[in-house]
Amino acid sequence: MHTFRLGDLTVNRIGFGAMRLTGRIAFGSGAPGDRDRSIAVLRRAIELGVDHIDTAAFYFSPSLSANELIRQALTPYPDDLVIATKVWPARDASGAWHWATPEQLRGQVEENLRELGRDHLDVVNLRVPPSRRDGSIAEHFGALAGLREAGLIRHLGVSNATPAQLAEAQAIAPVVCVQNPFGVGAPAGQREMLRICGEQGIAFVPFFAIAGAGREAGATAPEHESVLAVARAHGATAAQVRLAWTLRQGPHVLAIPGTGDPAHLAENVAAKDLRLSGEEAALLDRIG
């Protein structure tokens, strides 16, 4: 099963994350991205069948903005392209972070609209701050629900949320997806949201499925031998194995691997065709 739904929108289960288009190390001081190569990666992604891009206005470096790269590379947009973004976190021109108030969310939505050159946003995820992990998100999600009613947003999701926060959001407006960290070796507690989304028909869109504990810095740690063994058996890369395992967790699971490298892009998209045996999946399940 290669597709799933984001509300009334059907997308291929392998999408593309735009975070790394602006530089190798997101939000860091690493080498900046190359504009021409980033544009080429986006256009190649569409050629390879990607129809779901995850981005944010706070994905920018001193020289590049992910949203503006998407607009430059892909307008006029393909009719079937779904662009998901996220709000609540923000960065000023110096790169300093802050968290928006509910009243400031409209400005963040309008910023994404302006940068992407769209009259509405397909999906907006409310990215919950670490400090709010046990708190209410009702006021912020309610503000987004109002913007949905106003026609600025088509569908809503939550990111980095708990099951209780998902339920709180659903009591306000429909939730079509959950973006949470998840991948090979993830703590057992992260599986609860995976299960809940599957039972309710909500798309589960894990981030850091390849990077794991490396998070924004990427897959920096030595690869686990079990992942390497499965990769050797298939003539695949470790990243492809991690993505294949992620997609195997349920038909409602999407993947949004990000890269600024054309070769890595092709490898990531090809992971949808990698079939793991039950024994291989069980071997990977035991990691962590």
Tell me if 283 sits within 8 A of 248, measured CB to CB: no
Strand partners, 198: none
Nearest to residue 240, comparing CAs of 266, 213, 205? Answer: 266
238 to 100, 103, 132, 255, 280: CA distances (angstroms): 37, 43, 34, 15, 13
Give the strand pairing for 52-54 and 177-179.
unpaired
DSSP 78-132: PTT-EEEEEESEEE-TT--EEE--GGGHHHHHHHHHHHHT-SSEEEEEEE--GGG
- Taking the C-alpha atoms of residue 93 and residue 225, their distance in angstroms, rounded to an integer, is 42
59 is catalytic: yes
Q: What's the distance, CA 51 to chain centroid?
A: 13
Catalytic residue chosen out of the listed positions 4, 16, 59, 88: 59
What is the separation of C-alpha 202 from the centre of its chain, rounded to a whole number of angstroms? 15
Q: Which residue in this structure is represented by tokens 């809503």?
A: 156
Show which residues are catalytic.
59
